[in-house]
Amino acid sequence: MHAQSLRATVAEVVEKTPVFDIHTHLYDPVFGDLLLWGIDELLIYHYLVSESFRWMDMPYEKFWAAPKQQQTEWIWNELFLKHSPVSEACRGVLTVLNKLGLDVNKRDLPSLRKWFAGWKPEDYVTRCCELANVRKIAMTNTPFDDAERPVWERGFTRDPRFAAALRFDPLLVDWPNAAKRLHGWGYKVSADFSGQTFAEVRRFLADWTKKIGAQYCMVSLPPDFEFPAQTDAAKIIEHAIMPHGREHNQAFALMIGVRRNVNPQLQLAGDSVGIADVTAVERLCAAFPQNKFLCTMLARENQHALCVAARKFRNLHIFGCWWFMNVPSIIEEITRMRLELIGLSVTPQHSDCRVLDQLTYKWAHSRPIIAKVLAEKYDDLAATGWQPTREEIERDVHGLLGGAFEEFIGRR
Ligand code: FIX
Ligand code: ZN
């Protein structure tokens, strides 16, 4: 294949290959208001909240006390009307509107609102999945959420496009309170780990894995996460999550490096980043070779060491350019490095969408970067005389966009 047509083929295959988006905060429409969508939700995305406060001098309390439509008007004014919306998160809103066929140049928020008001959520899921070419969406499902838990407890017919992932941050970052909640739900646990505690945490994990059909379980952790250690988190991992993972052949996803609430005034937008210790991940992988780990890290400084860790441990699958890593310059750099270090045994991206519509922009922005980096790599191979066939390109891209992840979590 000529270099020009190789690049065009890779770009086309990456566009046309449906994605399994392995980590989002989206919900099956049966969860009602938990599934966020539409122009006001797009504007009040926490990425935009923190960017708008860089310009606004109103007290935080005034912002939070206002109705949502007032908040989004303030954000729209600051980030779209008073300054050009060049940040990645602002550009994302415009990409969404553009892909939906709306004229962004009118800068007309009221008419955008009217347009969105005409949709039914179920139909809109279909539209967004079509536009983003997404075949499956992993939710983030936590029994600790009082709005979510009752829906699972009632039971419902699942929308097959949504996969479940069992999320349990409180178990590892706030064990004393998590223990109280588990106790309240009938699990015989004690805050001091005495008696049946670990067996009962395992029973909790098994019950919820079964109830929601969890494809994997997951946690986000601060940068000071250590393993091994004399911490609640390390004990629960060793004595409950690891045996649970082996028994149910369930991978454990670690998202490491978030410093929650560094500015509480910003609420959900107030979290920051810290450099973590990748050796904790290596030690987990070494101590539990029969367990499978998925991992993404928040600090740019950790990306190289994490990739090296994946070279050393086949039970580690790295994924995504998480949150502050999810900007084009860094996605390109990290994706290139990953392909150079571990080839195609990686899931380069997840969307982390909180608002359904964002599927469109997150994938529209990432796909061309993945295609560019991959085409460069094939070009380098072509220079040796190795020409990838179209079938090989399709196979490789399917792997990068969710296939390698499915193979990893399915492996025994
Ligand atoms: O912990 C997480 O899953 C994070 O992705 C979120 O908490 C975060 O707020 C986010 O939306 C990042 O993209
Ligand atoms: Zn997330």
Atom of ligand 1 at shortest distance to CA of 322? 13
Residue nearest to atom 13 of ligand 1 (CA): 323
Give the residue, by CA position, lying nearest to ligand 1 atom 1. 220
- The DSSP code sequence of 58-93 is S-HHHHHHS-HHHHHHHHHIIIIISS---SHHHHHH
pLDDT computed for residue 330 by the predictor: 98
- Looking up residue 393, the CATH number of its domain turns out to be 3.20.20.140
Whether 219 is covered by a domain: the verdict is yes
For a ligand 1 pocket test, name from 22, 24, 25 the mutation site with the most ligand atoms within 8 angstroms of its C-beta.
25
Tell me if 212 is assigned to some domain: yes
Q: Provide the pLDDT for residue 240.
A: 99
Rounded distance from Cα 34 to ligand 2 centre (Å): 15
Question: Which atom of ligand 1 is found nearest the CA of 23?
Answer: 3
pLDDT for res 301: 98
Q: How far apart are the first and last CA of the chain?
A: 38
Copy the structure tokens of residue 101: 């066929």
User: What DSSP character marks residue 354?
Assistant: S
For residue 352, give the ligand 1 atom closest to its CA: 13
Q: Is residue 69 part of a domain?
A: no
Instruction: Point out the ligand 1 atom lying closest to the alpha carbon of residue 220.
Output: 1
Q: Please state, in angstroms and as integers, the Cα–Cα distance from residue 51 to each residue in 48, 80, 261, 365, following that order.
A: 5, 11, 16, 19
Residue count of the chain: 412
Which residues lie with the beta carbon below 6 Å from any ligand 1 atom? 46, 220, 255, 323, 352, 354
CA 25–ligand 2 middle distance (angstroms): 6
- Residue 206 inside a domain? The answer is yes
Q: How far, CA to CA in Å, does 288 sit from each of 65, 124, 159, 234?
A: 48, 42, 34, 13
Closest CA to 45 of 89, 88, 96: 89
Question: What's the pLDDT at 201?
Answer: 99
In a domain, 376, yes or no: yes
pLDDT digits (tens, 9 = 90+) for 153-183: 999 999 999 999 999 999 999 999 999 999 9
Residue type, 243: P
Residue closest to 20 by CA, chosen among 142, 163, 210: 163
Q: What is the pLDDT of residue 1?
A: 76
Residue nearest to atom 8 of ligand 1 (CA): 323
According to DSSP, the residues that pair with 255 across neighbouring strands are 220, 296
Q: Residue 179: inside a domain, yes or no?
A: yes
Q: Is the peptide bond before 228 cis (omega within 30 degrees of 0)?
A: yes
As for how many domains the chain has, the answer is 1
Q: Name the DSSP class of 274.
A: -
From 166, 259, 323, the mutation candidate for ligand 1 (largest count of ligand atoms within 8 A of CB) is: 323
Domain that holds residue 139: 3-37+134-410
List the chain residues with pLDDT less than 50: none
206-233 b/e with 16+ CB inside 10 Å = b? eebbebbebbbbbbbbbbebebeeeebb
What per-residue confidence (pLDDT) applies to 313?
98
Identify the pLDDT of residue 36: 98
Q: Tokens for 240?
A: 């409950």
pLDDT the model gives residue 250: 98
Tokens of 303: 């990306």
Residue 4 is predicted with a pLDDT of: 85
Ligand nearest to the CA of 323: 1
